[in-house]
Structure formats: structure tokens, C-alpha cells
Amino acid sequence: MTLQTLLEIKSLSVDYGSASGAVHAVDDVSLTLERGQVLGLAGESGSGKSTLAYAITRLLNPPAVITNGEILYYGRKNADAAAPVDILDMSRSELRTFRWSELAIVFQSAMNALNPVMNLEIQITDVIKAHNPGLSASARRGRALELLRLVGIAPDRLRSFPHELSGGMRQRAIIAIALALAPEIIIMDEPTTALDVVVQRDILSQILALRTEFGFSIIFITHDLSLLLELADKIAIMYAGRIVELATREEIYRQPRHPYTRGLLNSFPTLHGPRRRMSGIPGSPPDLRSVPPGCAFHPRCPYAFDACPKIVPALLDIPTGKTTPNALVACHLYDPALNPEGAESVLNAQSNDHTDAAPPPQVELSASSDAGGEQ
Amino acid sequence: MQVTNLTDQNIDSASILSSAKGRKRTIVGVLTSNPKIAVGVGIVAFFVLTAIAAPLLTPYDPNATIVTGSLPPSAAHIFGTTGLGQDMFAQIVYGARVTILIGFTAAIGSTLLQVFFGLTSGYFGGIVGDALNLFINVFLVLPGLPLAIVLASLASANAATNNNEAVIALVLLFTTWAYGARVLRAQTLSLKERDFVAAARATGEGTLHIIFAEILPNEIALVAATFVGTFVYAVGAEVALEFLGLGNTSQASWGEILYWAQANSALIIGKWWQFVPAGLCIAFLCAGLAFINFGIDELANPRLRVERSRHRRVLPKKNKAVAP
Amino acid sequence: MRHLLRRVGFYLVALWAAVTFNFIIPRLMPGDPAEAYIAKLQGQHVTRQEMDAIRQLFGVNPNVPLWRQYLDYLNGLLHGNLGISTSQFPTSVLDVLRQSLPWTMGLVGVALIVSFISGTLVGMIIAWRRGSWYDTAIPPILTFLSAVPYFWMALALVYVFGVGLNWFPSNSGYDVFNVTPGWNSDFIVSVAQHAILPVITLVIGSLAGWVLTMRNTMLTTLSEDYVMMAQAKGLPERRVMFNYAGRNAILPSITSFSISLGLVVSGSLLTEIVFNYPGIGYALYQAVQADDYALVEGCFLVIALAVLIANFLAELVYTLLDPRVRRGGS
């Protein structure tokens, strides 16, 4: 099945102006999102992943500035227009129409994302009303009830206020609101981080079930790479505002290429696969006001060599096989001009990966399991 | 008048000071880096210096009758003269001493009360805390100026307490402490849950030590802000009481100048110079203090700050990131 | 509901405190205001009954134990015994208050509504348009205006508009010479005219407080996630500003209403004095000048009572606006 491009981010750069100079929160990022795909964005705090997500709908406030780039949106499946439109060039009213009906966001903390003084019904229906003014009040209410059913919230909760709902319910509520206009893309910014593990699982399987039913694409932002290995089709790893690796989940799992990715994977235990020694990544993410020269990761990298502090690595294409897309890595180890020995020899000297094991299966909802029955 | 917005916000004094250190600056450096504080301090310093240097600024005795009647400003009397023939400028600069001193004394005393009641009512739970809280709230809700008027007016019945500036200061002290106490109480309530308090308790520190040596230092910024706020309020209330004739009518101060001006119906007969200088001085002094407080607000709450790029303009003109 | 009952209880306690304060202070003061007061009345034609009422208020009878005096005092209050006014003899204090109160309530009421509504609107808008020229200019100007003492502002307005330009009347509540009080249009127009300058004085003095409080809470609210989500939803700008940001930002203003009210009341006292406006403040001023302690205390009680009621109403409004407090919060 050929994948259709839905969203194309080209060379996006976002700066935060401050008294001491510009901070590059997002630095020359290019990404593609296909229809029906789950794209994972992984990275530590301050890597720029949330900034990137909010930049897509131009939700950033001053002092953030988009200094460069294009974000091309290819429109709905059945739209006639062949040419994509640059979101960054949209007028106010175009942007307002675009928002939520094409692209919705699920925020990290539902408690903070819900207006505390409005009940749930109003928060669901006001967006419907804003985009479909012709719809009657009872039709809107009907849609709201339908959305609650989809996410597994009891209908008698329609008029509740956010503080009257449990944490899990609140998260489901903002997922329901996100679905209100049946968008093509949903950006999920750490949607389950604030919840306990059991509720996390529920919510995640709910999300994937809805995706299967409605076919929207997801950009899933998290610091938890192990989660993405189960959820995402494609994963982008970000560090200090740049993408350092971009590959399918199988590739990331089987053969993590960037030393940072390898470090991240070694930081999480898995239930599958052979036992191995865990190691973290020494040091901490850089302060974006003083990013290390050359490769931003080099102070923490166990494989750094003399080129690393000098030259900023560009994303290199690495073939992975005839039928699979290339992996992209921003690391000098993979540049034959700078590292003639090749990456494998350097990495295998300290190797710890599990190329033979199969990656964990992607979380699916099978017909026999209990779907949507939770409260 | 609104003098500060540090109501129930939790002010992290430690973070203000540590961010100052982070930028390799002293407290003075931090204070002058914020334009609002700098302007406010400048204005207040100006008046304080004027008050101190009063004898150097004018040859006249403020209480001496120099001419007959009220004369408009001239070369000899740059602010004109009062209805009793006293030099207005002399009254203003000497009066600055009285006004500022009374306000300052009342503010200091009030702040002591605020710290005491605020911290104790916040730290102690149970009946004691509730009772103290009730006490604060009752004083808070009773209107301050009318209360002060009643007190001052009853005090004037007695020859010993009549025409006494100390009485005014006491009255102000008594009626202005409640607001600051509530603010400090709110901050103490949240601070007492922190680990360093539990640690102090665990090492056997006495209660008084915990309250005043552990918790109080963390609230210094808030105490400073409420002190300034109390100062403004005290000056305003003091001037009001004097205007009503409840102050010392034989001693020059800014409020007394206005009292005499009103008594002489100065406005109706067009002698504006009896009113304008004193009023403007009061306004500028209070505005200066209010600016200091707004500056402290901005230091404490980063969201209120407007980041200004001091160096070359780093941001491009068209900002696509901003959502319309 | 329980929450409300607790608040009612609190306000009753505060009222009790005000009443007790009025009882204790004259008895604590050095010298004896009571004696001076009685002495003033001796020269007048006072009935035995009225004399006893005064004694009750000030406790000039040393034979009666203090707690008994206190009970008598409270009992008297409930029956409306607030004493006789020496400065407006032979009117009872209660009657003086009854005549003055409506003027003050009208003045303060109108000024509060105008300054609250316009203040919070302006504060909301300049916060929304943060960084614009008016956001930079307006707060400092308002700060300065609010630092000017109320009565000075009043005097300045009297001078410029009343005496100088003669656009608006600057004396009394209505035209005492030409108009008779009553529900006739002449009177009403006259009242309105005479109210203009005092109301403007109060509004200018209190506007800054509302604007700056609203602006600051609005700036904090604007960085909340739910405002960002409202924008992400593509809602019209007005809806985001009013219903999402404004509705939440206004809550602290209502909480601080009690403080602002206290300030406006103080301001109105002084404004009335300058304009000779026949309200409670003016009555208080005249009482102070004449050492009419019974009236001084009576005015204080009325003012305290009005402030307490207004605060209670503000709390009610807050409960209506913030669903989190309705069931005791989460």
C-alpha cells in the first residue's frame, strides 16, 4: 500500500528570543506524516518536541518565533485540491477553519487543558458550534453524547465540571473533544504521562481503537521510547531541537543507530528479549542557551571522536532493505568520509543491542478483548 | 488603590535571589535591573533626601508667619505662601519629614504585626490557627479609614492625646496590618508543608525558631512587598486623617497643609498653590512606592515580565509563530 | 450550602466585633469622651429618656457592672438607640444616618459599577494585546492616578470643572436653593448633575485597582493550557478572550473586591467632604469637627454594616461563578 503524504514539515526552525540571544528550540527539522500513520516524537525535556508540535498549528506565543520553514498540509482524502497548502502562510480565518477540523491536539494535562468553569457539554459543543454554525443545539448535544460513548464516559457525565471527573475520565474527555470534528491529524502531547499505569493502558488501547475506526493520523509525543516502540509506525528522536534519528519502529528496535537512541533504549527494561545490563546516559540535556558546538550530543556520547565537536552532523540516509524506507541518522559515525571504519565496528566494540530478537508486537485491539467497557 | 498583586501567590524568595546570583549580581543589581523598581526607588529617595536636607533647601521656618495672607508663587516664595503667611516651600520640605516619618513608623509597626500574626496563624493549625485567622479576617473586613477616624477622633477628646503625631501613627498601625497578615498567612500555609520545615522539626528545633528563623527568610520578598504596600496606604490614610483635622494642626506636614487650605476655602477663592504642591508630592511619593511594588511583582512572577532584547534585534519582523 | 452558612456566621462575628469595638473604645480612651459628650448635652433641652439612652451608649454610670452595660448597650442597639446627635441636635443619630445613607449608597454604588466594569474590561483588553503601546502606557498612568489622594483629586476636579469652567456643580447633592426633593424630574436631574463630579472622582481613584488586578490575573491566565486549547480549537477570538480567559481571570478580582470596597468607601468619605455631598462621609466629618461622638460611632457602624453586606454579596457572586467552591471544592 502506498502511503499518502498528509503533512510535510520542511526545514522548520523555531527560536525563542531572550535577552541573551536567540535560543533554537527547533533547529531545521524536516518530517513527513503519512495518512493513517502514527508518528512518534521522542526526546527528553527541552528537546523541542512540544515546541515542534505547537508550531504546526502556530500556537506558540511570544517570545517564540518561527524563523524558517514550511509546513505543507495535503488536505482531506476526498478533497479535490491537489496542491498542498502551507500552514504558515494561512490567513487568520483560514487558520481558524483549519484548526480542530483538520488538526486537533490532546494536551498532556487534562486538568489544565479543560476550562475549570465550564461543564463538559459546553466544552465539546462550542467547538462544533464554531465550525458548524448551522447545526442545531440538539444535534450538537447528540454529537457530544456520541463522542462520550466513543471514549467510554457515561452519558450522565455530560454536564459535569472538570474537577468532578477522575484523572482518567478527564483524559478521555479531551480525547473526545479532539474527535469532535473528525480531524485528519491528532497531536498527542504525552497524553498518558500524568496517569497511573493501569489507566494508561486503557487510554492507549482506546486511542488505537479509535484510530482504526476513524483512520486519522497521530503525532505522538513522549519521552517514553518504549511506549513508542509499541504504538508508533515511525519514530523520530529529537535532541536539543534537532532530529537525530528517524526510522520505523522495527529499525529503531532492531538496530538503533544513533548513540543517543541506543542510550535511551538501554534505559528502559523490556519484558521481551534477553536480559541485559541497563545503563542510562551520563550527563543531562544541554541548556539550549549554550548548546555544545558541533554535535550537541558529543559531551555525553561514548563514541565521540574528533569530528564530533567540530561539525554539526546532517541527517544521513541509511538504506535498510529493499522494501523498507531508509533510516535517517545524524551521526558522524555513519559518514564514510569522517569515519572510514564504519559505524558497526565502533558500536559493536561496546555492543549491547538485540538484533536477533523480534520487536514487541504493536498494540492492537483484537475482536475478543474488552473494548470500551471501562468507565 | 491597588498597590500590589502579591495576594495569595506563592512567592519563591529563594528563587529570586538565586536567579540574581546566577546572573552574577547582588540584590542591588537585581533591584536596579528592573526599571519599575529603579524608578520607584529613585522617586522615594528623592523625597527622603529632600526631607533630610530641608534646612539646606530653605531659609524659612515653616511655622513662622512671614507675610500677611496667602500670596501666589514668586521669586521669594517659589510655592507661594499659606493662608497664615507661612512659606509654602518650607512647609513642604519640612512637612516631608513628618509625613514620611509617620508613614514609615506606621508601616514598620504594622509590618511587625503582619509578620507576627501572619506567620503564627499560618503555622499553627487547629483552634489556635483558626482563631487567629478569624481575628485577622474580622480586622480585614472592617473598613480601615472609618475605624481610624473613630479612634483618632476619640483620642482627640483627651488633651494628652490630642494633636499628637504618635497617636496618628498608632492608629494607622492598628488599622493597616490585617491585609499583609493575610497575605503572609497564605504563604506560610504553603511553606510549612515543605520538607525543610519537617527536617527542622525532626532535628528538634523549637517552634519559634522554625517560624522566625526557617520560614520567615523564605518570605522576605513578600514581607518587603507588603511593607511597601502598607507604607503607601499609611501615607494615604495619614494624609486623610490630617485633612479631617484629626492630626496635629500646629505642625506642618503635607496633610496639614491640605487641611489648612480647605479650612481657608483656598480653592473657591482661587488660591490653587495652597493645594497643588502638597497633593502632587503625595501622589508622586505614593506612585513611587507603588512602582517599587509592581517591580517586585514582576520579579516574583515571570509571566508578568516583558522580555526586552537588549542587544541587536534578534527577532524577524514577521512572526509566523504567533497565533492570530 | 454549609459553606455559605459558615460565611454568614463569619460576617455576624465581624458585625459583633464592630459593635463591641464601639462599646469598648470610648471606655478605654484616656480622658472621657463620654463626660465631654454629656456635658455638651447638659446645655440643651434633653429628656430624661434620651439622657438614659446616652448613658447606655457611653456607660457613664460606674455603678453598673461592665457586662451589664454591655448587654444594655446591645439591647439598645437592637432597638435603634444610637444616641442623640449634638451637632445636629435634636435629631437622633439614627435619623441622621437614615437621611445620609441613600446619598452615599447611590454615589458609591454607581461609582463601583462603572469602575468595576470598565476597569476589568480595560484590564482584560490590554492584557490580551500585550506589548502594544497601550499596554505599556496605561498601567503607569493609572498607577499614578490611583496614588493621588482621593480628596485631592476631588479638589482638583472641583477647581477645574466646578469653579473654573463651571461645567458641573461642585457643591451638595442637589440644588438646594431651587429644587424641592421628591420624585419629580427637576430633582432627579439635579441629583444626577450634582453626582457627576463626585462619581468621576471615585472612578478615577479606583479604576487603576481593577485594571491592574485584571491585567495581571489575565496575563497569568493567558498562559494556561485551557486558553491554548481554546485557541487550538479554532474558536473565535472574542470567545477565547471572554469565556475562557476572562471568566477565569475575573475570579481573583472578585476575591479582592472586599479590599477594593474598603478603599472606595474610604475614598467616598473624603470625596463627600470636598463636594459637601450629604452622605455618611459628610455627616462623619461634621461629627468629628463637632466632637459628636455618638454620631461618629453611628456612622462607623453603618459603614461597617454596609461593607460587610457588600462583601457577603461579592462572595455569593463568586460562588455562582466558580463551580469549584459550590460543593466545597475538590
- Tell me the ipTM for this assembly: 0.81
* Residue A373 burial (C-beta neighbours within 10 Å; 0-12, 13-18, 19+): exposed
Of the candidate ranges A343-352, B214-223, C291-300, C317-326, the one whose mean pLDDT is the lowest: A343-352
Report the pLDDT value the prediction gives residue B162, as an integer from 0 to 100.
67
Report yes or no on whether pTM surpasses 0.80.
Answer: no
Identity (one letter) of the amino acid at C115?
S
Report the pLDDT value the prediction gives residue B324, as an integer from 0 to 100.
41
> Of B204, B226, B205, B263, which is closest to residue B70 (Cα–Cα)?
B263
Which DSSP symbol is given to A9?
Answer: E
Of the candidate ranges B184-198, B302-316, C121-135, C174-188, the one whose mean pLDDT is the lowest: B302-316
Cα separation, A136 vs A158, in Å, equals 17
User: pLDDT digit string (tens) for B127-169?
Assistant: 888 889 889 988 888 888 888 888 888 777 666 666 677 888 8
> Of A312, A300, A316, which is closest to residue A241 (Cα–Cα)?
A312
- Take residue A6 and report the three cell numbers written for it: 498528509
- B314 with A88: Cβ contact below 8 A: no
Beta carbons within 8 Å of A163's beta carbon, 6+ residues apart? A111, A116, C323, C324, C329, C330
Q: Across chain B, what does the average pLDDT equal?
A: 79
- B322 with A58: Cβ contact below 8 A: yes
Comparing CB atoms, the residue among C273, C288, C307 nearest residue B143 is C307
Section A92-112 average pLDDT: 90
| pLDDT at residue B2 is higher than 60 | no
The whole-angstrom distance between residue A281's C-alpha and the CA centroid of its chain comes to: 22
Separation of first and last alpha carbons in chain B: 34
Higher pLDDT, B106 or A280: B106
Chains that touch B (3 or more CB pairs under 8 A): A, C
Comparing CB atoms, the residue among A109, A117, A164 nearest residue C248 is A117
Cα separation, B153 vs B224, in Å, equals 31
Show residues of chain A in contact with B323, CB under 8 Å: 57-61, 95
Report the pLDDT value the prediction gives residue C160, as an integer from 0 to 100.
80
Report the pLDDT value the prediction gives residue C286, as an integer from 0 to 100.
84
Section A267-273 average pLDDT: 67
Distance of CA A74 to CAs A115, A233, A296, B89, Å?
32, 20, 33, 76
Report the pLDDT value the prediction gives residue C186, as an integer from 0 to 100.
80
Per the listing, cell 530641608 goes with: B54
Higher pLDDT, B237 or A354: B237
How many A×B Cβ pairs under 8 Å? 52
Section A44-72 average pLDDT: 87
| pLDDT at residue A307 is higher than 80 | yes
Report the pLDDT value the prediction gives residue C327, as an integer from 0 to 100.
59
Which DSSP symbol is given to A60?
Answer: B
Chain A contact for C5 (CB, 8 A cutoff): no
| pLDDT at residue B209 is higher than 50 | yes
- Size of chain C in residues: 330
Do B259 and B242 touch, CB atoms closer than 8 A? yes
Phi/psi at B150 (5° precision): -60, -50
Name the residue of chain A whose CA is nearest to C237's CA.
A96
- A21 with B311: Cβ contact below 8 A: yes
Chain B contact for A10 (CB, 8 A cutoff): no
Report the pLDDT value the prediction gives residue C254, as an integer from 0 to 100.
82
Report the pLDDT value the prediction gives residue B109, as an integer from 0 to 100.
94
Of the candidate ranges A32-36, A338-342, B222-226, C326-330, the one whose mean pLDDT is the lowest: C326-330
Beta carbons within 8 Å of B108's beta carbon, 6+ residues apart? B227
Do A294 and A310 touch, CB atoms closer than 8 A? yes
| pLDDT at residue B220 is higher than 60 | yes
| pLDDT at residue A371 is higher than 70 | no
Report the pLDDT value the prediction gives residue A356, as an integer from 0 to 100.
46
Cα separation, C324 vs A117, in Å, equals 8
Mean pLDDT, consecutive 10-residue stretches, chain C (330 aa), reads 82 88 74 66 68 67 74 80 74 86 90 90 87 80 78 78 74 74 80 86 86 87 90 92 90 78 83 86 84 83 87 84 66
Higher pLDDT, B18 or C216: C216
Identity (one letter) of the amino acid at B199?
A
| pLDDT at residue A34 is higher than 70 | yes
Show residues of chain A in contact with C224, CB under 8 Å: 112
Beta carbons within 8 Å of B143's beta carbon, 6+ residues apart? C262, C265, C266, C303, C304, C307
- C258 with B140: Cβ contact below 8 A: yes
| pLDDT at residue A373 is higher than 50 | no
- C229 with A130: Cβ contact below 8 A: no
Report the pLDDT value the prediction gives residue B274, as an integer from 0 to 100.
84
Chain A contact for C8 (CB, 8 A cutoff): no
Which 3 state secondary structure label does DSSP give A215? coil
Cα separation, B115 vs B128, in Å, equals 16
Cis omega (within 30 of 0) on the bond before A63?
yes
Show residues of chain C in contact with B268, CB under 8 Å: 163
Query: What is the band of A216 on the pLDDT scale with cuts at 50, 70, 90?
Result: very high
Phi/psi at C101 (5° precision): -60, -45
| pLDDT at residue A374 is higher than 90 | no
- C234 with A117: Cβ contact below 8 A: no
Higher pLDDT, A230 or A270: A230
User: pLDDT digit string (tens) for A156-177?
Assistant: 999 999 999 998 899 999 999 9
| pLDDT at residue A110 is higher than 80 | yes
Per the listing, cell 536567579 goes with: B19
User: pLDDT digit string (tens) for B76-89?
Assistant: 788 888 888 888 88
* Residue B288 burial (C-beta neighbours within 10 Å; 0-12, 13-18, 19+): buried
Which 3 state secondary structure label does DSSP give A12? strand
Q: What's the order of all strands across the beta sheet hosting A242-248?
A: A103-106, A185-189, A217-222, A38-42, A234-239, A242-248, A327-329, A316-318
